[in-house]
């Protein structure tokens, strides 16, 4: 495993356990057995590390959801496929997703933070669209708020 990958893996574990705001770059460096400066060689900040952890899984989830929404499946079938897709990505990336949900408010203003925010906004909208379309088609209870 290369150093960058090791930093991301160990940081994800620490972020999930302690939270981003309670984790320092020094904590990550100590977990790997390097000096803090070695972390800064690869990343500008712990927030950059967080974003690098979250973006790959987030992109994969959105790509899968887009493909599902473009199919000719019924909305009920799309919902089932979306759940299966979400769970298949969620399980291997559990630590990353835990960080995403717990630390969403903490993102810095950066290009990666903007991309992550836009990815999750679109991902959420696609879920809502499946429900709304299913309600219109009579597949889901229309009384429920999507």
pLDDT of amino acid 112: 83
pLDDT tens digits for range 56-98? 889 999 999 999 999 999 999 999 999 999 988 876 666 666 6
pLDDT of residue 97: 67
Measured distance CA(116)–CA(50) in Å, rounded = 11
74 part of a folded domain: yes
Report pLDDT for 107.
64
Counting the structural domains of the chain, the total is: 1
Residue at 144 is within a domain = no
Within a domain: 43: yes
**What is the value of pTM for the model shown?**
0.83
pLDDT score, position 21: 81
Per-residue pLDDT, 96: 67
Kindly state the tokens that stand for 41: 């060689």
Q: Is 105 inside a domain boundary?
A: yes
Tell me, what's the pLDDT at 33?
97
**CATH value at residue 77:** 1.10.357.10
For the chain, 146 residues long, the average pLDDT of each consecutive 10-residue run is 94 87 94 96 91 89 98 98 90 67 66 87 97 97 88
Domain presence at residue 115: yes
DSSP letters, 6-41, are HHHHHHHHHHHHH-STT--HHHHHHHHTS-HHHHHH
Asked, for residue 143, whether it belongs to a domain, the answer is no
Q: What is the pLDDT of residue 62?
A: 97
Range of the domain at 128: 3-136
Q: Given this model, what pLDDT does residue 104 score?
A: 64
Q: Is residue 61, in this structure, part of any structural domain at all?
A: yes
Q: How far apart are CA 144 and CA 83, in angstroms?
A: 18
């Amino acid at each position: 495993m290369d150093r960058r990958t090791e930093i991301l893996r160990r940081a994800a574990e620490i972020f999930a356990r302690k939270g981003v705001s309670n984790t320092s770059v020094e904590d990550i460096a100590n977990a790997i057995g390097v000096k803090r400066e070695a972390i800064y060689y690869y990343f500008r900040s712990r927030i950059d590390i967080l974003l690098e952890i979250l973006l790959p899984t987030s992109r994969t989830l959105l790509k899968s959801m887009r493909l599902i929404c473009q199919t000719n499946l019924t909305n009920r079938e799309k919902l089932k496929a979306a759940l299966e897709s979400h769970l298949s990505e969620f399980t291997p990336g559990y630590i990353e997703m835990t960080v995403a949900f717990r630390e969403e408010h903490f993102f810095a203003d950066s290009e990666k933070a903007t991309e992550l925010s836009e990815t999750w906004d679109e991902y959420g909208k696609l879920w809502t669209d499946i429900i709304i379309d299913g309600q219109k088609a009579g597949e889901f209870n229309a009384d429920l708020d999507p």
